Amino acid sequence: MGVIAKEVLANGRLTQRNQENEFIERSGALKEIAKEAGVEMDAIAIAAALLQPWIDLVLSGATQTGQLTSNLSAVGIELNEEQLNRLGRLAETPDYYWKQRKTLTWN
């Protein structure tokens, strides 16, 4: 049996298109690490998921070629413990995540 991670980008909330004030205030580490690696924020979020030993497969969810290209750049990114700890500060409680997810417009 394996674990498939479906919403590693939190339905776009861990990408540069997220303009929520609260996210912008907290997303510094994600932006900094992406800049250090020369990739977009989505690639770092996917790379962090791929590094979890309990995740066997990460679904992209890309709907456009550019998104898929950016998502695929996550393959091979290695994040160190300090970077993973910085990213961990973006974690949300399940209740907050689902509350925010309900407000998203689906396209």
Residue 31's CB: how many other CB atoms inside 10 A?
14
Query: CA triplet 58, 52, 70: central angle to 5 degrees?
Result: 45
77-83 average pLDDT score? 94
What digits encode the pLDDT tens for the residues 25-47? 888 889 999 999 999 999 999 99
- CB 45 within 8 Å of CB 18: no
77-98 average pLDDT score? 91
Q: Domain residues of the chain, as ranges?
A: 4-102
51-64 average pLDDT score? 93
Query: pTM for the whole thing?
Result: 0.88
4-28 average pLDDT score? 86
Instruction: Please report, for residues 21, 71, 80, 89, 96, the alpha-carbon distance to residue 60 in angstroms, rounded to integers and kept in the order given.
Output: 25, 7, 22, 22, 22
Beta bridge partners of 57: 4
